[in-house]
Amino acid sequence: MRSEFLPFSPPSLTEAEVAEVVDTLRSAWITTGPKVRRFEQEMAAYLGAPGALALSSCTAALHLALVLEGIGPGDEVITSTLTFTSTAAVVEHVGARPVLVDVEPDTLCLDPALVEAAVTPRTRAVIAVHYGGHPADLDPLRATCRRHGLVLVEDAAHALPTRYRGQLVGSTDNPVCFSFYATKNLTTAEGGLLTGPPAYIERAQVAGLHGMDKDAWKRNAQGGSWRYDVVMPGFKYNLTDIQAALGLVQLKRLDAMQARRREVAATYTAQLAPLEAFDLPVERPGCESAWHLYPLRLRAGLDRDRFIEEMRARNIGTSVHFIPVHTFTYYREKYGYRAGDFPVALAESERLVTIPLNPTLTDADVADVVEAVTGIARAAGGGR
Among the listed residues 47, 56, 49, 35, the one whose alpha carbon sits nearest the alpha carbon of residue 193: 56
Single-letter amino acid code for the residue at 321: H
59 phi/psi in degrees, rounded to 5: -60, -45
- Report the distance separating Cα 285 and Cα 46, nearest Å: 23
- Report the distance separating Cα 156 and Cα 176, nearest Å: 6
According to DSSP, the β-strands at 52-55 and 287-288 are unpaired
Q: Say whether 214 is catalytic.
A: no
Q: Per the residue annotation, which of 184, 214, 218, 334 is the catalytic one?
A: 184
Q: Are residues 368 and 2 in contact, defined by beta-carbon separation less than 8 angstroms? A: yes
Question: 332: buried, middle or exposed (CB in 10 Å: 19+, 13-18, 0-12)?
Answer: middle
The radius of gyration computed from the CA coordinates of the chain, to the nearest angstrom, equals 21
Which are the contacts of 58, defined by CB distance < 8 A and separation ≥ 6? Answer: 86, 155, 156, 157, 177, 178, 179, 180, 181, 192, 193
Q: What is the DSSP string of 201-242?
A: HHHHHHHTBTTBSS-HHHHHSTT--S---B-S---B-B--HH
Which residues share a beta bridge with 97?
A: 76
Question: 383: buried, middle or exposed (CB in 10 Å: 19+, 13-18, 0-12)?
Answer: middle
Q: How many CB atoms lie within 10 A of CB 94?
A: 18
Residues marked as catalytic: 184
